[in-house]
Each structure stands twice: as structure tokens, then as C-alpha cells.
């Protein structure tokens, strides 16, 4: 009797979860369906759930009206650039905080942790003002270089280096290696898993960043895909079939990448929760 009750409860939970899961999927299906419908047919009654014929002209229109390829490339450059900065300058500083001792080290570390408390939006106005005065607005410099200092990356890498055994590094020191050689040849390879996770998270955050690129770009060719889409939204605000074709082009490749590398993404995302 008890067993049976348990089994019914399990079945109910499963159905509820599945319905919830499908709710996650339906908007995407609706997007794809709309993107193949005949322009101007959307408000005809009865509403068709799936197009009778696949209308590719929406995709043709999008690809000729806006530089999608360029937006993708920009997003890629920005995300890779930020990832590179985090994995170099962040990891280096993390190593210094883990293995070196100098006067004022604790104060410096505390200071960098405090910046985690300052939300990014406080920085947007002064950064915009400074960078526009030196003519960097609408360049990759403005989009990438502010990531040179990242307290989260430093903190994460420091924790990771502290947790690594010192013996190998000490052996290298006795063999006469310089600190830089030890870092590069001994410590960094041991930190590879942490680097991979930090890299995935930074890449995702960079790919999805919106507010700063919105502020820091103004020409159509410098936009990343997020900003491109938002502006595109105003440009085609009522041409839903075209809009959904563009949206499909923008969302489906990342989803495929996600499905292929799900394990790393999930690790990166969970880790990123520490950052918020």
C-alpha cells in the first residue's frame, strides 16, 4: 500500500516536472514556427500553430538587413578577450596573493574584495565619460580592457593556488627556477581545471553582457549580438516573422554549443553564482 502511494506520488511529480520543462521549450518552438510563417499572415484566424509552408524569405530578409555575422564575430571577440584577460591577469594576481608575501598584501586583497560589492552600474557612467574623452568609445578597447582587473577571478584563482600542494614548486625553486618559471611551468598547469571553469564562466558572462556594450558602442558594425538584437527589435518591431528569424539565428547556435559542452557550462554557471 505504502509502495503504491509512493509510486503514484513519483508519477505526479514526474508529470508536473515534464509539463514545466515543456513550458521552457514552447516559447522556442513558437519562435521557430513564427520565423517560417508567411509575412503578414500572423493575425489571420484561425491562428496556425505551425506554418503550412516553410517561408525562408524571413531569413533572407534578416541576413540582408543586418550584419549578423559581424555581430557574432564581435560577441566572440569580446567574450574571448575578456576570458583571456581573466585567465592571465587574474590568475597572475591570484598566484601572487597565494604565494608571495609583501607589506600591505592583506590591505590590497581586502580592497579588491570590496570592489565586488560595487555593482557594475556605478562604473558605467564614469567609464563612459573617461573613455569617450580619450576616444575609445566604439572600439574593442572599450569593450574588453575594463576586464583587466576582475576581483572575482583573482579571488577564485587565489583560493585554487592555496589549495595546491607546495612541494613541486619548492622543488623547482631549489633547482634554481625563477618565480615566473615556477608559475608558468609548475603552478599554472596544475590549475588547469580551475582555469577551465573560470574561462567558461567568463566567456558566458561576456557573451551575454548587454548594458556596457550598449553604452560603449554606437556604430552598427561594433555591436555584439545582444546589443544588435535589442536595436534590431526597435527596427523591425512589428515584422514578427523577420524578428523571429533573426532571433532564431541568434539563439540556436549558443543552445547547440551548450548542448555539446553542457558539463563545462554547468560547472561554470554554478561557480559563477558566487559572483552573482
Interface of this chain with another protein, residues 96 to 125, rule: CB under 8 A: 96, 99-103, 112, 115, 117-119, 121-125
**209 three-class SS:** coil
CA angle, residues 201, 202, 203, in degrees to nearest 5: 90
Instruction: Kindly indicate which of the ranges 51-59, 65-73, 81-89, 189-197 contains the residues binding another protein, using the contact rule CB under 8 A.
Output: 81-89
Q: Give the other-Cβ count within 10 Å of 235's Cβ.
A: 13
Nearest approach, Cβ of 114 to another protein (angstroms)?
10
Is 170 a binding residue for another protein by CB under 8 A? The answer is yes
Size of the site for another protein (CB under 8 A): 95
Are 227 and 217 contacting, i.e. CB atoms less than 8 angstroms apart? yes
Applying CB under 8 A, among 8, 113, 129, 162 the residue interacting with another protein is 129
Class of residue 5 by CB neighbours under 10 A (exposed 0-12, middle 13-18, buried 19+): exposed
Residues 139-168 within binding reach of another protein (CB under 8 A): 145-150, 154, 166
Among residues 211, 221, 235, 260, the one that binds another protein under rule CB under 8 A: 211
Stretch that binds another protein, among 52-60, 66-74, 192-200, 254-262 (CB under 8 A): 254-262
Sequence-separated (6 or more) residues with CB below 8 Å from residue 131:
137, 141, 142, 216
Q: How far apart are CA 219 and CA 221, in angstroms?
A: 6
**Binds another protein (CB under 8 A): choice among 63, 173, 196, 220:** 173
Interface with another protein in residues 20-79 (CB under 8 A) = 20-28, 30-31, 34, 42-43, 47
Amino acid at each position: 500500500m505504502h509502495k503504491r502511494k509512493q509510486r503514484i506520488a513519483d508519477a505526479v511529480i514526474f508529470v508536473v516536472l515534464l509539463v514545466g520543462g515543456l513550458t521552457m521549450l514552447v516559447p522556442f518552438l513558437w519562435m521557430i514556427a513564427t520565423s517560417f510563417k508567411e509575412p503578414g499572415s500572423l493575425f489571420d484566424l484561425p491562428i496556425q500553430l505551425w506554418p503550412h509552408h516553410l517561408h525562408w524569405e524571413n531569413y533572407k530578409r534578416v541576413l540582408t538587413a543586418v550584419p549578423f555575422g559581424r555581430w557574432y564575430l564581435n560577441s566572440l571577440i569580446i567574450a574571448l578577450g575578456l576570458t583571456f584577460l581573466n585567465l592571465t591577469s587574474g590568475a597572475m594576481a591570484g598566484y601572487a596573493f597565494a604565494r608571495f608575501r609583501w607589506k600591505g598584501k592583506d590591505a590590497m586583497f581586502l580592497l579588491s574584495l570590496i570592489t565586488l560589492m560595487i555593482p557594475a552600474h556605478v562604473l558605467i557612467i564614469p567609464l563612459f565619460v573617461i573613455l569617450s574623452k580619450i576616444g575609445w568609445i566604439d572600439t574593442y578597447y572599450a569593450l574588453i580592457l575594463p576586464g583587466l582587473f576582475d576581483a572575482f577571478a583573482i579571488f577564485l584563482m587565489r583560493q585554487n593556488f592555496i589549495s595546491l600542494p607546495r612541494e613541486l614548486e619548492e622543488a623547482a625553486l631549489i633547482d634554481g627556477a625563477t618565480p615566473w618559471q615556477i608559475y608558468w611551468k609548475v603552478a599554472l598547469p596544475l590549475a588547469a581545471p580551475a582555469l577551465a571553469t573560470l574561462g567558461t564562466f567568463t566567456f558566458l558572462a561576456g557573451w551575454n553582457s548587454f548594458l556596457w556594450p550598449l553604452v560603449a558602442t554606437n556604430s552598427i558594425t561594433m555591436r555584439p549580438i545582444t546589443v544588435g538584437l535589442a536595436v534590431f527589435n526597435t527596427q523591425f518591431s512589428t515584422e514578427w516573422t523577420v524578428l523571429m528569424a533573426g532571433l532564431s539565428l541568434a539563439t540556436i547556435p549558443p543552445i547547440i554549443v551548450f548542448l555539446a559542452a553542457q558539463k563545462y557550462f554547468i560547472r561554470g554557471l554554478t561557480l559563477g553564482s558566487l559572483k552573482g
